[in-house]
Amino acid sequence: MPAPPTHPGGCLCGALRFRSEAEPVASGYCHCRLCQRSTGAPVLAWGSFPVGSFAYVEGAPTVYRSSDHGQREFCARCGTQIAYRESRGARTVDVNLASLDHPEAVPPRHHLWTRSRIAWFDTADALPRFEGAGPEQPRA
């Protein structure tokens, strides 16, 4: 029997390490203003991993409640944002794909919140685009 998939990753300084023992249930680009502001980038590439498969294996994140329904998890030492999850009853953890050790293993599948897309930024792809939250994603 093959080993389960493992998606390890971490922050810039190495103080915070994580891994998921499952494949993501969704992945994409988020163009919402919260993601733009929290990363300082025009878009955030993310992958949703089942919450039960995701764990911090070194260090503990600092949590910032970025809205009434969600929180961002980041390294307090270097500031790298690792994840977003619902504040209550989270079934998935949205991991910033660039924080994975092998981000090429989880390609984005669609764009969300394109109504907030910064006009001077666009990607050259044919992925589906949604003005809002997009299609209902399967939850683990």
In a domain? residue 122: no
In a domain? residue 40: yes
Report, as an integer, the average pLDDT of 109-128.
Answer: 95
In a domain? residue 139: no
Q: What are the percentages of helix, strand and coil residues in the chain, rounded to 5? A: 15, 35, 50
The H or E element that residue 35 is part of is helix 33-39
pTM: predicted TM-score of the whole model, two decimal places:
0.89
In a domain? residue 75: yes
Domain around 19: 7-116
Q: Confirm if 17 and 73 have CB atoms less than 8 A apart.
A: no
> Judging by DSSP bridges, how do beta strands 62-65 and 111-112 pair with one another?
unpaired
Tens digit of each residue's pLDDT (9 = 90 or more) over 56-111? 999 999 999 988 889 999 999 999 999 999 988 999 999 999 999 999 999 999 99
In a domain? residue 136: no
Tens digit of each residue's pLDDT (9 = 90 or more) over 5-49? 799 999 999 999 999 999 999 999 999 999 999 999 999 999 999
In a domain? residue 58: yes
In a domain? residue 127: no
What's the first-to-final CA gap in the chain, in angstroms? Answer: 22
C-alpha 97/C-alpha 108 separation (Å) is 9
CATH assignment at residue 46: 2.170.150.70
In a domain? residue 137: no
C-alpha 61/C-alpha 21 separation (Å) is 19
Task: Say how many domains are in the chain.
Answer: 1
